[in-house]
Copies of this chain bind each other. A is one copy, B any other.
Amino acid sequence: MYENDVFIKNFHTITSIGYDKKVGVNRLALNKYDIEARTRLIKEFNSINANISYDDGGTIFGSLGGNKEESIFIGSHMDSVPNGGRFDGMYGVVSALNVLKKLKNNGQINKKISAVDFTNEEGARFQPSLLGSGLTTEVFTKEFVYSREDDQGISFKDAVSKSGFMGSEENRAKRVKPGKYLELHIEQGPVLEHEGYQIGIPIGIVTMVVDEYEFFGESNQAGPTPMEMRKDALVSASRFITEVRDTARKNGNGLVMTVGKIKNDPNAYNVIPGKVMLNLDIRSPDKDIAFEYSKRAYEIADKISKEEGTEVKHRNLWVTETTIFNEELKKTIEKICKSLDMKYKYIYSWPGHDAQYMNRITDTAMIMVPSHNGRSHTKEEFTSDQDLINGFNVLYKTVLNLM
């Protein structure tokens, strides 16, 4: 079990970058911790004499077997959300690195193999998410990606340039033409642990619709306006949040609807709220259901606003339609799980992943491991060492099978 121990030690070392026990991980894309993690990754690649390249979105590729014709890409991302966990994304990158190490050590490099760290997967610093994979697969244009700005007004282009990881267009995944892409990731949900599975094989990634709502009421001193004369934007928003949750619950078909972000104006204890902005995130494996419930939520907001005497504006911010991964690769992963005697389950991935854009340019699949209590994007995010090792071995064996 020497190799598993080496992998786990390497994992815990690298994931400590930007981690604080009290607040979690704050390794936002291209911030000082992300740059520290990238610098460490480069050092690791150098230790196995990997060929290192960056594309023009700062996405990093470390490759072995560069003289071979066919190629396999494996990877994920190292950036985190604010106060995030140690496993999200980082697990896939460190596992990819260690697959390269193990293959090299065992003399098993029969195809070109690249470990990838995609820039700004989370969308926490630059919106939208998946900027690095979006550029490297040419789903997004360079103009669009470069013009994204963080809360401080720093553009994505400037952040990549300043980080020292600016590379060139010809290194983009789309130009290099990988033959396969595999991504190992934590589930970020409770299903595998809850149902007692060791490995999840994602059928694909669900449809995601993100809508924005603005409720307009009448801002007034809290004291003198009688209850029946009020137009309270926060009351309308609160009724909306409750009713949307109840509607999603009643559907019962795996649909989820979340209001995660809300901004209340003027947000003073003694002023009736005059304006509330919120985002509604809707996900379903079935595109038509996601779209239908987006429409239903519009109607709920309109109805409530009419009843409350407030006004509401709603608009779609973005949609990503259902991704279905490569059937042959999924069968290969299933075969490996069986050979390793792993309990596996076909599931949907509910969060987006870099794999969804890689799926547009090459045969792609993912491998997932349990998240304790389903917690993710929080410091409580946890996956046991044994589960990490299980996933790592399934990834390694799958790659070996493709070699």
Residues on A lying within 8 angstroms of B by beta carbon are 81-83, 123-124, 129, 187-191, 206, 208, 210, 218-229, 232, 234-235, 237-239, 241-242, 245, 248-249, 254-262, 264, 266-274, 279, 281, 283, 349-352, 371, 374-378
A266 and B82 contact, CB distance less than 8 A: yes
Contacting residue for A274 out of B220, B273, B281, B378, CB 8 A = B378
Nearest-neighbor residue (CB-CB) of A190 within chain B: B229
A280 to chain B, nearest CB (A): 8
A264 and B262 contact, CB distance less than 8 A: yes
B245 and A190 contact, CB distance less than 8 A: no
A351 and B238 contact, CB distance less than 8 A: no
Contacting residue for A221 out of B189, B220, B238, B268, CB 8 A = B189
| Assembly CA distance A258 to B189 (angstroms) | 36
Contact of A238 with B242 at beta-carbon distance under 8 Å, contacts A256-B222, A260-B273, A264-B261 already known: yes
Query: Using Cβ atoms and an 8 Å threshold, which residues of chain B touch A232?
Result: 245, 258
Contacting residue for A377 out of B221, B234, B239, B279, CB 8 A = B221
| Assembly CA distance A234 to B266 (angstroms) | 19
Contacting residue for A261 out of B81, B269, B349, B378, CB 8 A = B269
Contacting residue for A124 out of B218, B245, B268, B349, CB 8 A = B268
Query: Using Cβ atoms and an 8 Å threshold, which residues of chain B touch A260?
Result: 222, 234, 267-273
A316 to chain B, nearest CB (A): 13
Instruction: Give the interface centre of A206, A223, A229 by most chain B CB atoms within 10 Å.
Output: A223
A226 and B242 contact, CB distance less than 8 A: no
B235 and A256 contact, CB distance less than 8 A: no
Query: Using Cβ atoms and an 8 Å threshold, which residues of chain B touch A279?
Result: 269
Contacting residue for A219 out of B241, B255, B352, B378, CB 8 A = B378
Instruction: Give the interface centre of A188, A227, A232 by most chain B CB atoms within 10 Å.
Output: A227
A188 and B224 contact, CB distance less than 8 A: yes
Nearest-neighbor residue (CB-CB) of A82 within chain B: B266
A194 to chain B, nearest CB (A): 8
Query: Using Cβ atoms and an 8 Å threshold, which residues of chain B touch A377?
Result: 219-221, 266, 268, 270-271
| Assembly CA distance A178 to B49 (angstroms) | 86
Contact of A376 with B227 at beta-carbon distance under 8 Å, contacts A241-B238, A261-B267, A271-B81 already known: no
| Assembly CA distance A351 to B224 (angstroms) | 7
A27 to chain B, nearest CB (A): 15
| Assembly CA distance A254 to B223 (angstroms) | 10
